[in-house]
Structure 1
Amino acid sequence: MQPTFVLVHGAFANSFSFAPLQAELGLLGHRSVAVDLPGHGFGAGYPRAYQAPQDLAGLATEPGSIRGVTLADNAAHLIGLLERAREHGPVILVAHSRGGITATAAANARPDLIDRVVYVAAWCPVDLDVADYYAEPEMATVDAASLGLAMAGNPADLGLLRVNFRTSDPAALAALKAAFLADGTDQEFLAFLNTFQPDENLDVGTCADRAQAATWGTIPKTYVRLAGDASLPLALQDRLIREGDTLTPDNPYDVRTLEGSHLRWLIDPAPAARLLGEVAALTAPST
């Protein structure tokens, strides 16, 4: 029976990010569903101060509707969609970037709903909590200070992360492009930037949400390395793979590699769609 790809977006993103990939998957004969996690997509909050002309002082203080959304909320929402998709056959859960945290939490809770989990340069914490990886050597190349140029407000006060993706600050825009789409044109970069939403929830989980061998570890898994990724560096991707393989040595990652930056695979999705088709051919439904 044909599997369904369930696609989970990363931070500040939404299901819209996957439209080109879904088109390619559909043309190859594959079924897919793109998820909007709580507070994303048409459920996102856009502060009035974010609109032009921007009120930067207001943007730093205006409340956001995603405040209080937790990883548990994201996982519960995803599990509900996985239950529906599973009624129609095998499910391949595909997560990008921060979406890997939610995918891992769902896999910990309901491995019976997932026939394979695919991480595309995505977080799958094993040895540390997500926040702690940022202090590790593998993340040393990430220029957090420059990325912070587009931050709006104090996350502790707002109860959320807020980034002004509509900034005209050349330094902030250059830092964002270098981190996410260094191999893209300026027009591609600005087009993708305008699909992002300004607010993201704070909760990235604790040690209880790391990959668990008894549940997550029973699911066949693939890790797709993005070789030119500057925001989730290849060294960190490889570390996450090693940690997962150590946790479940009898069920190691099927490792694949795509060239390009953090967002290139979504803008030019044909290679990724072909790769996912190959992964689907490996996937048998769980019993």
Structure 2
Amino acid sequence: MTAPTVVLVHGAFADAASFAPVVTELLDAGLPVRAPAVPNRSLLGDAGYIASVVRQISGPVVLVGHSYGGAVITVAGTEPNVVGLVYLAGYALDEGESLGELQGRFPDSDLATALVYTPFPAGDGQEGTDVSVDVERFPAIFAHDVDPATARVLAVSQRPLAGAAFGEKATAAAWRTKPSWGIVAAADHTINPEVERFGYSRADMTVTELDSSHLMMLSHPREVAAVIREAVDRTAG
């Protein structure tokens, strides 16, 4: 039996370090793990980058996407060696759908009034817009059940998402052909939990609900790792 490699894909306003407790759980279970840094510049560009990471792995892969990372794995998950998908408080887009369109089906979360927009040089003389979360409001909105000392550090070390990513349409929906699991953060103030439930239901995923903030990987690492291990066990072969 070949155990798939678990590739952990972070989302906006965080980085791969947000998976640290889950990585420990998975490594202790003897699973191969990768947690690449996502550029967070464009949905299709980020999906292309993650797809390139997947192609360099010999053997099967289970892709795990948190938040915006869910949209990324929805597109990147069409790689032939991806055998399963796990969404953590994630966006399960359909083909031809954007983050803004999926999110727009439901009332805004608390995040909507806490976003900060700043310009950045996008190349060729063009200017892009970075989106981040107000530092003072970050702990309550993003990480209310995470250790306050950790949340304070996360607030000032955000990895912004380029605003253009919100309007890009997914070119594929890997959940249509790959077995998928989803965890709803029922106490999420970053994404309306109904966005998560809708996407997971539409994809006919195996769904777990946690009474968690958006950063379930830090507040509930054992439960998150357990779902990932289930996906690994069900797809190993």
For the aligned pair, the TM-score class normalised by the smaller chain equals 0.7 to 0.9
Unaligned runs of 5+ in 1: 40-68, 168-172, 245-251
| Structure 1 residues 207 and 185: CA distance shift in structure 2, 3 A | closer
Describe how 1:153-192 pairs up with structure 2 within 5 A: 158-163=127-132, 167=135, 173=136, 175-192=137-154
Residue of structure 2 aligned with 1:100, choices 51, 54, 70:
70
TM-score, normalisation: structure 1: 0.71
Partner of 1:91: 61
Partner of 1:131: 100
Q: 1: distance between equivalents of 2:84 and 2:36?
A: 17
CA deviation vs aligned residue, 1:206-231 (integer Å, no higher than 9, x gap): 445352xxx54111111111221111
CA contact (8 A) 2:71 2:92 kept: yes
CA contact (8 A) 2:65 2:86 kept: yes
Offset, 1:94: 0.2
Structure with greater helix percent: 1
Q: 2: distance between equivalents of 1:194 and 1:143?
A: 16
SS of equivalent to 1:38: coil
TM-score, normalisation: structure 2: 0.84
Offset, 1:102: 1.3
1:275 equivalenced with 2:234 (yes/no)? no
Q: 1: distance between equivalents of 2:199 and 2:118?
A: 30
The code of the aligned residue for 2:171 comes to D
The code of the aligned residue for 1:79 comes to A
CA contact (8 A) 2:108 2:192 kept: no
Shifted more, 259-268 versus 92-101: the winner is 259-268
Partner of 1:236: 195
1:71 equivalenced with 2:30 (yes/no)? no
Partner of 2:112: 144
CA deviation vs aligned residue, 1:34-92 (integer Å, no higher than 9, x gap): 011236xxxxxxxxxxxxxxxxxxxxxxxxxxxxx43232122111111122x1x3210
CA contact (8 A) 1:152 1:164 kept: no
Q: 2: distance between equivalents of 1:79 and 1:188?
A: 31
Structure with greater strand percent: 2
1:119 equivalenced with 2:91 (yes/no)? no
Offset, 1:16: 2.0
Unaligned runs of 5+ in 2: none
CA contact (8 A) 1:133 1:139 kept: no
Which structure has the bigger radius of gyration? 1
The code of the aligned residue for 1:262 comes to H
CA contact (8 A) 2:26 2:225 kept: yes
Q: Aligned-pair RMSD on alpha carbons?
A: 2.7
Instruction: Give the fraction of aligned pairs with identical amino acids, expressed as a percent.
Output: 27
CA deviation vs aligned residue, 1:88-127 (integer Å, no higher than 9, x gap): x32100000001111111124x2x1210011111111228
The alignment of Structure 1 onto Structure 2 pairs a total of residues equal to 232
